[in-house]
Chains A and B, each alone.
Chain A
Amino acid sequence: MSNINLAVNRVSKRFGGNQAVDHVSFSVTKPELIGMIGPNGAGKTTLTNVMSGMTKPTSGAIYLNGKRIDGHPAYDVTRAGLGRTFQITRALGRMTVLENMMVPGLAHQPGASRSNLEERAREILALLTIEHLTNEYSRALSGGQRKLLELGRLLMLEPSVIILDEPFAGVHPRLQETIYQYIHRVHEDGKAIILISHDMGAVFELSQRLLVLHHGALIADGAPQDVKSDPAVIEAYLGHDEED
């Protein structure tokens, strides 16, 4: 129990008549690499928003490293150790790449020396192969480079749990390889990762465990090979055969 990083207990989120997340429960231990899949509208992004404090849950509880975080504002959840990326990248356009990196650095370590943080930011940018863009405005970056920048910003936060929302979407294969290496490296560093993606190849290759959401509910939670043959998952993805 003590090595559980994130515990989601019967979390629901309702928007009017739409039950976007329906009593979802699961836990994440350190250092797990979990894939989260589901058809469009399954509730993956809503659940991510609830976990990261962007949206308050209608009911349920979420614990991060033993601290209850549901209903807490996003900045508080982030400081507690949960970092996330966005499905559509949210680079801070009229700020340089280095400034983008310094925002989480200074927010996470207000008393830290600026030069030390800058040095760390440059190391991370080098790891992500975008160090030559350090002083460029992030609005000038390509879509893939912005994804890398978002991943870099996460490392400045030193979170214990990372949620990656569609990190491979619309990314050039060469940059996809960099993101693969990033995920491996961060996982080896002992962080728990929740990977949300429609890229089934990547999810099955990287994940140790898979969560499947459908209509807001968690319909499968297990090893990728077991989930692949789960009738409920097959039905969610391929639909119900009327002759059955």
Chain B
Amino acid sequence: MAFFKRFESTIDNGIGRRRFGYIVLGLIILFFLWFPNDSSQSNYAKTVFISGFFYAIMASSWALLAGIAGQFSFGHMAFMGIGAYVAGLIARDGIIFAMLGIAISPESISAIGAIIIGTLIAGLVGLVIGWLLLRLRSAYLALFTIAFSELFRIMMLTEYDYTGGSNGLSLRPLLQIADVDAARQVEYYLMFGLLIVCLLVMHWVANSPIGLFLRAMREDEDAASALGVNVVRYKILIFVFTSMIVGLAGAVFYSDVGSERIIPEQLEVLQMSLIIAYAVIGGMESLVGAAAGAFISRYLLEATREVVIALPFGLTMSDGSGAFVWETGAWRYALFGVIMVFTLRYMRNGLLHPIITWFSGRDLVMQETVSKRKSDDDYDDLLEAGDE
């Protein structure tokens, strides 16, 4: 504790917490840039990281929608699925164009073109749902998006001829690299780059006047409206924006970057629950917190697939080994549930909140207010004593 106090004082008197925070962030980014170049890392480890980046986009965009704007949607995975499925269907048989009566050969559409169209369609569906629902309070949005997600999943499951049903749909590969190792490396950087770009854009939105209005309507819609904020407009805007972000993430990830096909199982409510859990654990009101929460959680879920427990007192298993290997299966999700309950009970702003607060210097502001209040009170006491 004394060491931490000394360290804190050195930072406060030196470069300051914010600058120190940027340095730490820079080092973390450098680590992620270096990681795939480490020859000791397997392709599996890189795949886990790619999946972590994808879920970090999902969780941070949900944090923007629910944690910052206060719109509790359960449709995030569905919009991700819309982006991926539309990109897949467009590039495979151009069904969307056929429905719109546009004569375009699917072969003429590149993977990037399909991803862009998938992203736009996710935004368009978000606009329709937002226009219909976001005039209502958030409980209706939550209920509707649960129903919408399930309907969409069932559609994808049952329309076998188009979507491949439970076998899933392969999208046109975004990269054409024959060498597996090289391909994995490029896919890693692609997904990491997408995460950084998404975080930067979302950070810009959250810190713009729009972000201020979003937070105001999260706190109190009526008060925000009475202060001149067009609440419905900004609700729809952020819903469409986050729908496009996850639509893009889905279309890229399933274009053989993180996974070779999108399956309806990915759209289950359980998957959506995991996104919410990642954001809650990391910190719903912080984009970086939610992204870090998702990445670390994904990593831990993979790392705890198999837990090796060394046996004490020289005990051995029947096969002669001195360790018990526990295939955790679904039990790791139970552990995850315990962490989430702990977070909600004791650290509602997420496990990373104390770190983010420290770097932002908010505790210093609070200390300053308390000391100013104290001096105000002392001054009042002095005046009152003088009156007497």
Contacts and interface: CB of A to CB of B under 8 A. Distances in A.
B261 to A, nearest CB: 41
A92 B231 contact: no
Interface string B349-386: 00000000000000001101100110010000000000
B223 interface: yes
A106 B285 CA distance: 22
B219 A95 contact: yes
A133 B369 contact: yes
Given A132-B372, A132-B376, A104 B225 contact: no
A145 to B, nearest CB: 10
Nearest to B216: A103
Interface in B202-246: 209, 212-213, 215-216, 218-220, 222-232
Contacts of A93: 219
Nearest to A80: B228
Contacts of A231: none
Contacts of A102: 212
A94 B219 contact: yes
Interface string A87-107: 000111111000100111011
B215 A94 contact: yes
A86 interface: yes
Contact of A103 (B229, B230, B376): B229
A97 to B, nearest CB: 10
B180 to A, nearest CB: 48
Given A92-B220, A93-B219, A135 B227 contact: no
A84 B226 CA distance: 7
Interface in A124-175: 132-133, 135-136, 140, 153, 157
A107 to B, nearest CB: 3
A103 B220 CA distance: 12
Contacts of A54: 222, 225-226
B373 A74 contact: no
Question: For the complex, would chain B's binding face be called helix, strand, loop or mixed by DSSP majority?
Answer: helix
Interface string B15-54: 0000000000000000000000000000000000000000
A110 interface: yes
B224 A79 contact: no
A103 B212 contact: yes
B215 A75 contact: no
Contacts of A157: 227-228
Contacts of B222: 54, 74, 90
B227 A103 contact: yes
Nearest to A156: B227
A54 B222 CA distance: 7
Nearest to B361: A135
Nearest to A110: B209
Contacts of B376: 132
Nearest to A79: B228
B369 A92 contact: no
Interface of A: 52-54, 73-75, 78-79, 83-84, 86, 90-95, 99, 102-104, 106-108, 110, 132-133, 135-136, 140, 153, 157
Interface of B: 209, 212-213, 215-216, 218-220, 222-232, 285, 365-366, 368-369, 372-373, 376
